[in-house]
Structure 1
Amino acid sequence: MVAKRGAIVVTGGTGTLGRQVVRRLLEDEHEVRVLSRHPHPRADRTPREWAVGDLATGEGLDAALEGADVVVHCASAPAKDDRVTTGHLLEAARRGTRPHLVYISIVGVDRVPLRYYGRKLACERLVEESGLPWTTLRATQFHDLVAGLTTAQRLLPVVFTLGGEVRLQPVEVREVGERLAELAVGEPAGRVPDLGGPQIRTLRELTGLTVRARGWHRPVVPLRLPGKVIGAVRAGGLLTPEHADGRGTFEEFLAARGAMR
């Protein structure tokens, strides 16, 4: 990797994905600035390593992006409107140094009619039309998220999953973070190839693997749900078989994380 002259700002830098991006960039000795709504709890952190700004209101973003060469936009929340937060970020970027904007999206945002996916797709378009240099990567679901669907049911006497051909292609979040870091120090590339996990498995299989890894002895109950969203998923809407470039398997994730105990 070739070092950039200015800072690389990472939104959502304390989240599951953002931490991996920050880790890799720091390993490669880049100047990284984490954008957060809150001051860092350690007083010895300098402003260049930690910037306070609120994507929801836009407050503090101009100062947070000062001197930025690249912004990696990992902040996202299904319960909020990413179009608003992304819009505020883009406005601040245009007022400032006009950095390279690297955006992380999700495989299937244009095929699966979830409201959250629709907002992510709209954010892709905002980035594309921003007038800034940009790169967008779509990734499949993280191992953490898929396993979490099961572990969230730890207090139930049975474990529910989706039956039928509900197929996923989970990917290791560390690999997605490394790919984003690579894109951040490269030239703007527009929409780059998707990043999917190495295997396509049914959700029922993945649920069973998680149950066994945790040592649970309880039945797995498959549910068949109707609707356009499930129909789109059954049709392969969350898959990118031509880009199964991830290396870490779901079983390896479970073994490494202790089944998320």
Structure 2
Amino acid sequence: MTTILVTGGTGTLGRLVTERLRTDGHEVRVLSRSSRPYAVDLRAGGPGLAEAVAGVDTVVHCASSPKGGDEQAARHLIDAARGAAVRHLLYISIVGVDRVPLGYYRSKLAVERLVEQSGLGWTVLRTTQFHDLVLRVLEGAARLPVTLLPAGVRDQPVEAAEVAARLAALAPAAPAGRVPDMGGPEVRTLRDLALAHQRATGRHRRVLEVPLAGRAYRGFRAGGHLVPERAEGTVTFEEFLAGRASARR
């Protein structure tokens, strides 16, 4: 039985990874700012981190925040993992971090580099955006009388549970370096996804697509965050929405 530490283990992805690994028979520790006994803020480090990684074979690094601090958190985690002789560091990243000049993406790419240069055995998996993120964006846009979306942008949302299954398979295996990217089953326009959300919720709004400025927007319009050749997910956005609705009944 392998002892695995999951950082961000109470988040959208980390929780699913933890559940899957435990189902597979592994001993799993969950590290987050509020999860005891391993309540640690990775950005600050501290003695609790050394305790969390002691005796761990693999670290699955899911903790991340668009608000900043990912690089500092990764440095603390890597230092602790080196000290504990961790065999395998597995990092979840995002498709397009090297093609779309968005601040959060730059931070994720910087963490990839830290992982690669850590001296530890490592694996990096990049995936497209989760259905959950697309839903949050659309729900936010739907609060207005008119749904405003960036013009000409497509997405390839993937089911978080399917990503969790991929990570759970990679974690106990040998370090594999940069593994093939993983995308959702369909490349869809944001307008199309918004209309699917409206059909699922019964809330109808006029959809207005607005051109934006900036290099990041151009990167998204060019499809830098897409991997249609790696459309390995099977759950469509409509199936994701239907599953959420069924769970609430």
* Fold match by TM threshold 0.5: yes
Structure 1: any 5+ residue segments left out of the alignment? 41-49
Q: Deviations over 1:51-90 (max 9, x none)?
A: 2222011111101111000000000000022100001000
SS where residue 220 of structure 1 aligns?
strand
Asked if the contact 1:162/1:204 (under 8 Å) is kept, the reply is: no
Q: Could you say which residue in structure 1 is the equivalent of 2:172?
A: 185
- Partner of residue 101 from structure 1, selected from 89, 93, 96: 89
After TM superposition, the structure 1 = structure 2 runs for residues 75-114 of structure 1, keeping only pairs within 5 Å, are 75-114=63-102
Change (3 A) 1:29 1:199: same
RMSD (CA atoms): 1.5
Corresponding position: 1:137 with 2:125: yes
Asked if the contact 1:74/1:103 (under 8 Å) is kept, the reply is: yes
CA drift at 1:154:
4.3
Following the alignment from structure 1 to structure 2, what is the Cα–Cα distance between the partners of residues 54 and 226? 35
Corresponding position: 1:74 with 2:70: no
- Partner of residue 24 from structure 1, selected from 20, 23, 27: 20
Give 2:14's aligned amino acid. G
CA drift at 1:220:
1.3
**Farther-moved stretch of structure 1 (207-216 vs 61-70):** 207-216
Asked if the contact 1:213/1:259 (under 8 Å) is kept, the reply is: no
Following the alignment from structure 1 to structure 2, what is the Cα–Cα distance between the partners of residues 214 and 51? 39
Corresponding position: 1:196 with 2:192: no
Following the alignment from structure 2 to structure 1, what is the Cα–Cα distance between the partners of residues 16 and 56? 19
Q: Could you say which residue in structure 2 is the equivalent of 1:150?
A: 138
Q: Could you say which residue in structure 2 is the equivalent of 1:226?
A: 213
Q: Could you say which residue in structure 2 is the equivalent of 1:210?
A: 197
Following the alignment from structure 1 to structure 2, what is the Cα–Cα distance between the partners of residues 39 and 74? 14
Change (3 A) 1:153 1:241: closer
CA drift at 1:205:
0.8
Following the alignment from structure 1 to structure 2, what is the Cα–Cα distance between the partners of residues 154 and 239? 24
Following the alignment from structure 1 to structure 2, what is the Cα–Cα distance between the partners of residues 32 and 100? 14
Following the alignment from structure 2 to structure 1, what is the Cα–Cα distance between the partners of residues 192 and 243? 19
Report the number of matched residues.
247
Following the alignment from structure 2 to structure 1, what is the Cα–Cα distance between the partners of residues 199 and 124? 36
Change (3 A) 1:259 1:216: farther
Asked if the contact 2:156/2:186 (under 8 Å) is kept, the reply is: yes
Q: Could you say which residue in structure 2 is the equivalent of 1:246?
A: 233
Asked if the contact 1:108/1:237 (under 8 Å) is kept, the reply is: yes
CA drift at 1:97:
2.3
CA drift at 1:155:
3.2
Give 1:223's aligned amino acid. V
CA drift at 1:218:
2.0
Give 2:8's aligned amino acid. G
Following the alignment from structure 1 to structure 2, what is the Cα–Cα distance between the partners of residues 23 and 256? 18
Following the alignment from structure 1 to structure 2, what is the Cα–Cα distance between the partners of residues 39 and 143? 25
Asked if the contact 1:103/1:135 (under 8 Å) is kept, the reply is: yes
Structure 2: any 5+ residue segments left out of the alignment? none
CA drift at 1:116:
0.7
